[in-house]
Amino acid sequence: MAKRDFYEVLGVQKNATEAEIKKAFKRLAMKHHPDRNPDDTAAEGKFKEAKEAYDILSDAKKRAAYDQFGHAGVDASMGGGQGGGYGGNGSFSDIFGDVFGDVFGGGGGRGGQRVYRGADLRYNLELNLEEAVNGTSVKIRVPTLVTCEECGGSGAKKGSSPTTCPTCHGHGQVRMQQGFFSLQQTCPRCHGSGKIITDPCRACHGEGRKEKQKTLSVKVPPGVDNGDRIRLSGEGEAGEHGGPAGDLYVQISVREHPIFKRDGGDLYCEVPIGFTTAALGGELDVPTLNGRVRLKVPAESQTGKLFRMRGKGVKSVRSSQVGDLLCRIVVETPVNLTGKQKELLQEFDASMKDNGKHSPKHHGWLDGVKKFFDDMKL
């Protein structure tokens, strides 16, 4: 597949200055870098394409060869011998410091100690159903790493500062030559920071960060549910060497409720009723999260019948609509009967022997069972 024009890749004119080329590459690197687009092969391809274009156009000799001969002038496989991509004469380490330090929180490779963004944290917050539905404010205590106040995050003793690493000269990367191959790896002395601390801060022992319990106030919006997350920007771990802090994600978990079960914006509850109420009908009070409401049960109601009370459910955090409350009737069989009560029920049962007029489902089921066994005999 033919390569695109390098100027077109970076989106600059052929007379673009070095600063314009660098600015264009920074913009593309920020958008397509693999760290920001994990498992995205398309973004990775665009990043490599932009990196190759920058390697050529940021080098005066390579750019001149490219302007005169095109890709053939800089492609080693076609005799140009200039090299490109990640292997180009140290340009990767320059860009790693100058570009990715700016984009991802790192300081420049030559001019200063690299800084790194702090890690994101997660806190599991358990709420009851009423708190989740109505919203609340809670105080939480989070163990985290914060910037050392003594050294301001540099890791060096107050009054001193980190010095440039003599091994990598502040790049944080060193290049190893093995035969025809040139390999780049993290500097073993400064571990990629580009700086070394000769006189470490006593408070943080040169780390630039200290462990601390932070107390934070979390405002929980109404309608949150299991699995929802609240992001507190900048409340994660402090970055290394004064880098920006990560974020804190508060994960919501809602405890089981003794009466209600929630499904999105709807609430469900079971309402036990007596045999007499089910047969003759009646009214009873049922609970909602905002008080009691009157439920009218019609005569001859059966177990499992659902009654919908519109607008008595939950307003989801993602919707302006309020769900419903669905009450499921459960007919309760009498227990602990007295002798007199048993006699009355037996008398009542005897009066029901009328070929299924009063129990159509029961008699229909018996007819089905009889037909089933009759069919088996055939």
Other Cβ atoms closer than 10 A to 9: 21
Write the pLDDT tens digit of every residue in 168-217: 888 888 887 766 666 778 888 887 778 888 889 988 888 888 888 999 99
Task: Flag whether pLDDT at 90 surpasses 60.
Answer: no
Average pLDDT (263-272) is 94
d(C-alpha 101, C-alpha 115), whole Å: 7
For helices 60-69 and 41-57, give the axis angle rounded to 10 degrees.
Answer: 100
pLDDT (0 to 100) of residue 288: 92
pLDDT band at 1 (very low <50, low <70, confident <90, very high): low
Residue 135 vs residues 114, 224, 303, 316: alpha-carbon distances, Å: 42, 8, 35, 11
Question: Given pLDDT bands bounded at 50, 70 and 90, which one contains residue 69?
Answer: confident
Q: 30 or 267, which is more confident?
A: 267
pLDDT at 223 over 60: yes
Residue 310's pLDDT is 93
User: What pLDDT score was predicted for residue 180?
Assistant: 62
339: pLDDT strictly greater than 90: yes
**Residue range 44-51: mean pLDDT, rounded:** 89
Q: If pLDDT is split at 50, 70 and 90, which confidence band does 10 have?
A: very high
Q: Grade residue 103 by pLDDT with cuts at 50, 70 and 90.
A: very low
Rounded Cα gap, residues 319 and 314, in angstroms: 10
Give the pLDDT score at 265: 92
> Is the pLDDT confidence value at 88 over 80?
no
The answer, yes or no, to whether residue 76 has pLDDT greater than 70, is no
pLDDT of residue 138: 95
Per-residue pLDDT, 356 = 61
Task: Kindly state the percentage of the chain with pLDDT values over 70.
Answer: 85
Q: Is pLDDT at 376 greater than 80 in this prediction?
A: no
Indicate the pLDDT class of residue 87, thresholds 50, 70 and 90.
very low
pTM above 0.85, yes or no: no
Q: How far apart are CA 239 and CA 208, in angstroms?
A: 9
